[in-house]
Amino acid sequence: MLKGLENIHKLFLNQQYQNNISYFEKIIEGIEYKKMYNHYIVVSCITTTQISQENFCSFIESQLDKELVNQLENFEEVDYCHIGLKTEKCGMKIDERKRFCTSWLLGIKFAQQTSYELSTKFYAKFEKIKETLINKFVLKNLGQRIDAKSEVKILVLKRNELENWGF
């Protein structure tokens, strides 16, 4: 989206494209989300029942943006990160009793080249996000326990690993 806005800005600065509709259409189409980043985070909510999916996974979805901002706003190694796509298909092998899976794809732009140290710090941030989301769900539901078979998984993927996820 940022790239598209930059192109629109250039369009207005360079009046030469003022009447070129095909150029403008190309800007609006944008870049396919799965090609925008080199690194992605997949957050998957996996449950055994449709009701758990509706309650638990809907809550996770509603809070995910807020937790991203809370955990990553002071994480200087990340330029930006945002949720781009959602799917009901699970790209990982899961226990066959856990039939319901909702996954969100988050693109991430690091400010620097990734290293083992950066990966470790980043993983710790996402474990904190997962823990916070689960705790908020429990508090929201007045201590109601989450179905023991429900879970949230967070995986870091590279662009070439997105094939099986259904995004």
Q: Which two tokens stand for residue 146?
A: 């989450």
pLDDT for 46 equals 87
> Ramachandran region of residue 93, left (φ > 0), alpha (ψ -120 to 50) or beta?
beta
Amino acid at 120: T
Q: Which pLDDT value is given to residue 149? A: 64
pLDDT in tens, 23-77: 555 545 556 888 888 888 889 888 888 888 888 889 999 999 888 878 877 778 8
Tokens of 96: 């066959």
Confidence of residue 101 (pLDDT cuts 50, 70, 90): confident
pLDDT at 142: 66
Average pLDDT over residues 159-167: 78
pTM > 0.75: no
Mean pLDDT of the chain: 77
Residue closest to 167 by CA, chosen among 44, 15, 12, 5: 44
Q: Say what the pLDDT of residue 62 is.
A: 92
Q: Say what the pLDDT of residue 88 is.
A: 85
User: Which residue has better confidence, 50 or 14?
Assistant: 50
Tens of pLDDT, residue by residue over 110-136, are 887 777 787 788 888 888 888 888 888
